[in-house]
Chain A
Amino acid sequence: MNPATPIIELREVEKRFGALTVLRQINFDIARGEFFSLLGPSGCGKTTLLRILAGIEQPSSGTLLIDGQPMAGVPANRRPTNMVFQSYAIFPHLNVEENIGYGLRNQPLSKAEAQARVAEALSLVKLDGLGTRNAHQLSGGQRQRVALARALVCRPKVLLLDEPLSALDKKLREEMQLELRALQRTVGITFVFVTHDQEEALTLSDRIAIMAEGQVMQLDTPRGLYERPANRRVAEFVGTMNLVPGRLCGGRLDAGALGAFAGSMVGVLPEGAEAFLALRPEKLVLHPGAGSGGNPSLAGRVTEAAYLGDRIHYQVTAEGLDRPLSVSVNNVAEGFGLGTPVTLSWAEGAGLILGP
């Protein structure tokens, strides 16, 4: 197979459960060796899409190609994919080795070869010496490693991961994120990772598809998503974003009494359409006193301050805006007390103009 062809191709994939459409117009490719994430709130269809890739669910319409082969009618057990389930699905009647070797019995391998593969997988996920442990003797993190080894030992072309880190505590989760990324580089297999945690997706992924209500809202690199979100919903989902509502007027955002703001346009919006000026907290600069900043700027008052050590996060309530603005500044200068009148300014090109 030509290495330039995508490992996964999705064309017009739709999924309906009765009258409910859970996936619509899914069209994208996943490249070989990519760490690809499906990110979205619960109920957005990301897990259903993963289960369609695995063959556990069938799409209602559309086509799916894996490694150039059409997957229509190919059951889960004949697909070159393996999955790490959210619950890990460790077989409770088998020990660690037997769990990991479960899939190998369906492959034409000698006993010695299978044993060698299991041992290799055990050390890959750092579980050497735990092969004879029973499933119920394992900690959450160990169960996750067994699930990972059990899938990887089959040498799939694509590894599917359904929120594998969501059951772990924060510290372990961060450790496993780094390990997972390193592991993916080692084995070079394409990973498709489902998560609702945007930070996790940004940390791990080469590319991310943001999903909402069964559709892909935006597909981009983590940097692309953060710096040029396609619309307000993506902007709010990835990181923190300050939004100034208004209407598009001559390439600027007319925010009524607050004035008109220039910004770099994302996408194409018709004149007069509802739009937002989007500003990341770290792009804003705080000046003491009202009306002391240059243009563009907003006046307001500090209503909340959170000291984070290296940075300080302020909430600034600006006149004429319903929601306070988040501002993140380096902890170098004097802080601002609560109630201090301030002016917020930003560089001309720092704001984006987004549709809803």
Chain B
Amino acid sequence: MRGKFNILWVYAGFFIIFLYGPVLLMPVFALNDGTFATFPLKGFTLKNFAAMAANTSMILAFQNSLKIAVFVAVLSTALAIPAALALTRFRLPGGAAIQSFMMLPLVIPSIVIAVALLVIILKILGIGLSLFTVAAGHVIVCLPFCISVLMSRLEGFDPSLEEASRDLGCGAWTTFWRLTFPLALPGVISSLLMGFIISFDEFVIAFFLTGTETTLPVYLFSQLRFPNKLPGVLALGSLILVGSALLVIAAEVIRKRGVASSNPGDF
């Protein structure tokens, strides 16, 4: 059946509206000259965006989020590299079990992780809540993503490359730095971006584990109590939306390019 009316196209249309419609309303209202997020729109303005520059507590929260995200991206990637290497290079006894165990944080609700960590940090370790405790929680959530991104990269290349490097006189450490790391670099970069974006957007763990300083998502949430702050929140949300989208696209482009170049021998 090749009629003009195709039910699948309608389905696809609704699907996309359902998925992106609400999100795309946010920048629309952020650019609207009015306090309330309602139609009809009143007029175009950039004042909500301009007001952000003067909002010091928001900038502070932004800086905190940035610091945590960078720290988390680097730490979880650094931890994920040896794990991904071990899972792809060796036949570990119980390798499959270890792998699913490492991927478990993906399916545990973050509120469960947050509460469990809160109990451990306060009652067992007796450490005060700070940005560090938030970062520690974020590393747990980011690790499975980083590991799977790196594993898909490391699985892609010919195992005889590393054997050749050993055969040419390189020890395990030299082989890693001269061969494995450069080849895994696209994976490492997308792992860094992935860790950054997950940590930057994360709310539940940050909400539970933060001390006096807040991260950007937590700050956003706290602002929702004041109706007159809503346009500012929408403006901030729009910027985060654009920034996140750019980062994810960059990560995906780098990963795709990496996959394409891992088989240079195929003509």
Asked if A77 and B183 make an inter-chain contact with CB atoms under 8 angstroms apart, the answer reads: no
Residue of B nearest to A83 (CB): B167
Contact with B along A251-275 (1 / 0, CB 8 A): 0000000000000000000000000
Query: Which residue of A has the minimal Cβ distance to B183?
Result: A93
Which of A78, A89, A151 has a CB less than 8 Å from the CB of B161?
Answer: A89
Do residues A89 and B163 form an inter-chain contact, with CB atoms below 8 A?
yes
In the complex the two chains form, is A150's CB within 8 Å of B163's CB?
no
Q: Is the interface of B mostly helix, strand, loop or mixed?
A: helix
B-chain residues with CB within 8 Å of residue A90 when the two chains form the complex: 265
A323 at the B interface (CB under 8 A): no
Q: With an 8 A cutoff between CB atoms, is A201 at the interface?
A: no
Size band of the A side of the interface?
20 to 34
Contact B168 A102 (CB under 8 A): yes
CB closest residue in chain A, given B168: A103
Contact between chains at A56 and B169 (CB < 8 Å): no
Give 1 or 0 for each of A70-94: 1 = CB within 8 Å of chain B CB. 0000011110011101111111110
CA distance A77 to B163 in the complex (A): 9
A135 vs B168: C-alpha distance when bound (angstroms): 18
For the complex, give the distance between the alpha carbons of A185 and B8 in Å. Answer: 70
With known contacts A87-B158, A92-B261, A92-B262, A75–B165 Cβ distance under 8 A:
no
Query: Does A54 sit within 8 A of B, measured CB to CB?
Result: yes
Residues on A with C-beta less than 8 A from B168 are 77, 82, 102-103, 106, 150-151, 154
Determine which of A54, A91, A103, A135 lies in contact with B169 in the assembled complex, contact meaning CB atoms within 8 Å: A103
State A78–B172 Cα separation when bound (angstroms).
Answer: 12
Whether A107 pairs with B169 at a CB distance below 8 angstroms is yes
For residue A143, CB closer than 8 A to chain B, the reply is yes
Within 8 A of B (CB), among A73-127: 75-78, 81-83, 85-93, 102-103, 106-107
Can you pick out 22 interface pairs between chain A and chain B where the beta carbons lie within 8 Å of each other?
A: A54-B167, A55-B167, A56-B167, A76-B166, A77-B166, A77-B169, A78-B169, A82-B167, A85-B160, A88-B265, A89-B160, A89-B161, A89-B163, A92-B157, A92-B261, A93-B182, A102-B165, A102-B178, A134-B264, A143-B265, A151-B167, A154-B168
> Which residues of A come within 8 Å of B, CB atoms?
54-56, 75-78, 81-83, 85-93, 102-103, 106-107, 134-136, 143, 150-151, 154
